[in-house]
A and B are shown apart, each in its own frame.
Chain A
Amino acid sequence: MRKFKSLTILILVGALILSACGGLGQSQPVTMRVGWSGSPDTLNPGAAVLSEAYTIFGLVFDTMYQLQLDGSFKLSLAESVSVSDDGLVYTYKIRDGVTFHDGQPLTAEDVVFTYYLYQNTDGYPWMGDYTYYFENMEATANNEVVITLSEPIPNIDAQLVFLYVLPKHVWENEDPVEFENTAMIGSGPFKVVEYQPEEFVHLARNDEYFGEVPKIDELIFQSFGSQDALVQAIKTGQVDMIYELPNTAVATLEEDPNIQVVTGAPFAPGVTDIIMNQVTPENCPPDDGLCTGHPALLDRNVRLALAHATDKQKIIDVVLLGLGTPGTALLPDGLGIWYNSSIQDYAYDLDKAKQILDDAGYADTNSDGVREMPDGSRTLTFRINWDSDNIDPPRIAELLSEMWGPLGVKLEAQALDSDTLTSVCCPAFDFDIIIWGWGSDPDPNLLLSVMTTDEIPTGSSETGYSNSEYDALYYEQAAELDLERRKEIVWQMQQIVFDDVVYIIPYYAQNVQAYRSDRFTGFVLDQPKVELSDITSLAYVEPVR
């Protein structure tokens, strides 16, 4: 009798265990874990500045347009758009039946509310810029949004693509800047399950999504302390995808059969630049300008010689481990059609560089290895600075020092913390050379504006370059509605600044990302740009069966 009892118990226990195991397997949601080394600064789309926050917003909210991997814009929230003949009035028809994550419907009212919120809130760092040209916005009874501009612009899509639509019924009662928005009620393909600041963001699929419903159940973005940690994480399987990693790890990861490394042009185009202070005394800002730049840099010959003396491939090899291409003008190749791919870069030719300086009268009269100005007043010794927070620029500075040394140019290197760097750069112009960089919008307008004369006193112009022809072209392209014509102008502008050697662009870095090919498949990899963390991929990935 007792034996029977204990046997029963054994069987029951065994069954429980088995069912637990099996059950776990069945009810286990398909979760993709993504690792990143930062974290969102805030979940408030108006107040956020960090890219991690924008990554999340892109998954949780909708916008009027969606940026594609080839650089074009596709209508998302709106199903159609019509423009008035004068280019001032845009009418968007919002899709019907779109709901927020809390079940409430998303209508044109919410869109208009959102846009006004972004425009009127002073504490939003970037939104004022995007809504600058919007003079009037209205919601019609037909679920349409009518936007009236103050002047015709060619790139309304680029302005609207970052205006995440917020639920009016949630936001109308909150302080726009203080509201932490941890619940993040949006309408996008994913919705928030849990958010731990600095630790992780836990998203789940929105089954009611109007567009492509993702195939995975859950998505978790987990913060790690360093890029090394990210690589370890994907190697050990703690995460399934990482979209930034140190280039040094590429070889190791490629050897791993379970991991697929992908490279391509960055989705969010960025550029590293070598800035040379060329501000003339006339253009020196009256209030804030110190303008202590080395006079030699005002001479195009000097800048040209420096460009010829720069072995960009070597820099790419050492700093990026070969994962990049030599740069030409300030606009990177990640800008797609806007990038002038016809420009021929200055060849790395030390002799030619020397020749240029010799001809221009910069000779080393006292044979100390450093050339002087033609009038003998100063040696060609330049201060070179960079943001001490970044780990690549010191290597670049070392390389430049070694490359330009034989040319007869001496560099005095000094890392500066970002505050100090900002204060010496612009509009003070208290430097000679700075290694820095930009992050860009998909629209070229921002980067082009940086080289205009008007931006010298505002602090946006780093070089102090001033060319009235360039300025005129800038205003022309800002108003040109025809895409092809605008593209021509932009290409012309790049050629001008390249010919004037306004910047030396060492490289355009490639985006390097990796995912566990043994677990997930379906990432979109055939486009010119690659971004595994974008909705374009995340909507389509599915587990490997």
Chain B
Amino acid sequence: MAVQELELKPSVPSSPLVGFWKVFSRNRMAVVGLVMLVALVIVAGFADAIAPYDPKSYAGIQSSDIYNRPSAAHWFGTDDAGKDVFSSFMFGARNSLIVGFFAAFISIFIGGTIGVVAGYFGGRIENFLMRFTDMMLVIPDLPLIVVFVSLTKPSLWNIILVIGLLGWTTTARIVRSQTLAVKSRKFVLRARAIGAGNRHIIINHILPLVMPILVVNAILVISLAILSESTLAFLGLSDPLAISWGQMLNFAFGRGAMSVGAWWALVVPGFGIVWVVLGLTLLGNGLEQVLNPRLESHHLMPGKTTLRKEAGFHQLRKPLRDSPVVLDVQNLSINYVSDDKPPARAVENVSFRLHEGELMGLVGESGCGKTTLMMSLTRLLGSSGQIVNGGVIFNNMDLATVTEEELASIRWNGISIVFQGAMNALNPVRTVGDQIGEAIKKHLPIETEKLVEERVVELLELVGIAAHNKDRYPHQYSGGMRQRAMIAMALACAPQVVIADEPTTALDVMIQAQILELLNELRKKLGLAIIFVTHDLGVVAEMCDSVLVMYGGVTAEYADVDTIYNSPRHPYTQELLKAFPDLSNPEKRLTSIPGYPPKLDALPPGCRFAPRCPLAFERCSEETPDLHELGNGHVASCHLVEGS
């Protein structure tokens, strides 16, 4: 069975740099950091012009000028030699920055080279380099630096060299991990397969992907180098004739600033160091957020409250079957909200009814809103998802608006979920049995530990996993076993509805079959209602009772399975089926649907499928089609079926 897959390609920005700048400028932290740095670099660069005094000159200085308080003549007072602190500060910025940058450059160069070489070539080379790195990491750097610098000529170049030569270890490690990750990416393997040379691959493929993380690390290294220089200068190990902030502090601390109360000689240079390091840190942290946006939100951030719009909702006139309805989703609309973009209308006006014992298939391309819809049922959307219309009726409650406490008791107890990609869906540091037991303990009034264990074993055996596995960890299970364990866990509290979100996508065909059979069996045995999210039409055909086809966040078509397969009315459904190989017709030509799914925050007017619909006409791109009833609960949203 072929699996129809359309890769979601983001809209390509005009140039990567412009695109990067756009994202970057939105990150306040990064921008503030950058501004701080630029301001200081300008001051340092133009020190000759801006500084009121020449810090090297003793012209006109007398002993009464020493440690003078800030005044109009000297904004930040004078130091131990009677010189203007402000001017020294500006010139000192130069040396502090220069040493920091050059030393960091050396570190990054060495670390980057070692990291890439180790990661790329692997084997003995990697082993040797990484062992060497580990050993250097272990040697305490400040004492080593202190020893080296104090026993050699005090000069800025020595300091740069020593800091640079001893600061590359973390860079090497990070770059190596990143190289390893990139090395196994498909395009690198492809390049090697076509015989590209190592140097070419490294420069053209590996480096560009390692660069971002290297840049973030570089910023950290620079700030550390500046801190190191100031510490060394403070300890008296730098060139005393080279003004730097650390050197200013060395003179102040060593020539009695504290006892005189000359706080300005101590605060001002230190403030400079803090300014630069803070700027770099903000920039680095901001960059990291830009490059690794995962850090922006997490699952425990509070969600958005449901909006209650007065717009009426469709009432599906005839249910698809006769058994009692367990879940009634009415006109559900979900937006993803953000501060600076218009909301993405991820799901709009979707309705369906799930009956007891029914297995509904939810079909659509990646990004059509299937997962969003499913997550919204028990309000598991992230912090930017918001239900803006409609309701989720379950057990006479509208889950979209109940309180957190009420919801907590419904979750898993009434509606549970089998997630896709069970590798991360289970906590790797807790045993599987533990995690299943957790659900039991939360919802069921089982008193003793022993009884819980018994129930866990029962569940595992139900899905065909031997009892002793309950004390093992997820990584010790095979892929198929994990998925079955997820199913076992989903059943732990005997829920009424189980949502299976692409439970077999990552598994091989044989296991797939097993899992599907298992689900079917359990459904019959336990009277479960299952929503099966997939983009595999073959599975849908085999197992489902009803099918909901979604496109671009809206219902394309919704009917019982036979109707969908034998008489699809929506062009999208028809195209899907055309792209699907039919065993009974091996000669059939397979087609694909050209084009890309719509951008949900910039939807064109009219039908969302219109741009790709082979049957589209003028009205389609002007007016959004209603959901038309086609009898027996069959609905489709297309202008073409109007009036049927």
Contacts and interface: CB of A to CB of B under 8 A. Distances in A.
A228 B241 contact: no
B21 interface: no
Contacts of A322: 63
B63 A246 contact: no
Contacts of A402: 56-59
Nearest to A388: B154
Contacts of A228: 253, 256-259
B156 to A, nearest CB: 11
B240 interface: yes
Contacts of A246: 255-256, 259
B150 interface: yes
B254 A226 contact: yes
B586 to A, nearest CB: 87
B66 A398 contact: no
A417 B154 contact: yes
Contacts of B61: 314, 317-318
B241 A247 contact: no
Interface string A378-389: 000000000011
B253 A248 contact: no
Q: How large is the interface on B (under 10, 10 to 19, 20 to 34, 35 or more residues)?
A: 35 or more
Contacts of B67: 248
A356 interface: no
A252 B239 contact: no
B153 interface: yes
B127 interface: no
Contacts of B153: 414-417, 420
A388 B240 contact: yes
A32 B236 CA distance: 33
B81 interface: yes
Contact of A249 (B57, B155, B254, B260): B260
Interface string B41-85: 000000000000000111101110011000000000000111000
A415 B239 contact: yes
A248 B236 contact: no
Interface string B131-153: 00000000000000000001111
Given A321-B63, A394-B241, A416-B154, A314 B58 contact: yes
Contacts of B150: 417
A119 B153 CA distance: 38
Interface in B525-578: none
Nearest to A395: B81
Contacts of B258: 228-229, 231-232
Interface in A243-267: 245-249, 251-252
Contacts of A226: 253-254
Task: Tell me whether chain B's interface is mostly helix, strand or loop, or mixed.
Answer: loop
Given A388-B236, A398-B56, A417-B151, A318 B255 contact: no
A419 interface: yes
A398 B241 contact: yes
A397 B58 CA distance: 12
A321 B64 CA distance: 8
B251 interface: yes
B14 to A, nearest CB: 54
B261 interface: yes
Nearest to B258: A228
B261 to A, nearest CB: 7
A391 interface: yes
Contacts of B239: 414-415
Interface in B150-173: 150-155
Given A248-B80, A318-B81, A399-B58, A391 B259 contact: no
Contacts of A249: 256, 259-260
A137 interface: no
Interface residues of A, number: 36
A227 interface: yes
A251 B58 CA distance: 22
A245 B151 CA distance: 28
A413 interface: yes
Interface in A207-257: 226-232, 235, 245-249, 251-252
A311 to B, nearest CB: 9
A251 B254 CA distance: 17
B58 A318 contact: yes
B241 A397 contact: yes
Contacts of A321: 63, 66
A227 B253 CA distance: 9
A310 B240 CA distance: 21
B81 A317 contact: no
Most buried by B among A389, A394, A402, A413: A394
B530 to A, nearest CB: 74
B136 to A, nearest CB: 25
Contacts of A399: 58
Contacts of A317: 61-63
Interface in B78-107: 80-82
Interface centre among B67, B257, B260 (most CB of A within 10 A): B260
Interface in B177-218: none
Interface string B240-272: 110000000011011111111110000000000
A409 B62 CA distance: 24
Contact of B63 (A235, A318, A419): A318
Given A416-B153, A420-B153, A398 B255 contact: no
Contacts of A394: 240-241
Contacts of B81: 318, 395, 398
A475 to B, nearest CB: 40
B236 A391 contact: yes
A38 to B, nearest CB: 14
A398 B258 CA distance: 24
A28 B251 CA distance: 41
Interface in A326-347: none
Nearest to B67: A248
A317 B151 CA distance: 32
A230 B256 CA distance: 10
17 contacts: A226-B254, A230-B259, A232-B259, A245-B256, A246-B256, A246-B259, A248-B67, A248-B255, A248-B256, A248-B260, A249-B259, A318-B61, A318-B63, A388-B154, A388-B237, A389-B236, A398-B58
Given A231-B259, A246-B255, A248-B255, 4 more contacts: A246-B259, A248-B262, A317-B61, A317-B62
Leading 9 A-B pairs by shortest Cβ distance: A246-B256, A231-B259, A394-B240, A317-B63, A248-B256, A228-B258, A249-B259, A391-B254, A415-B154
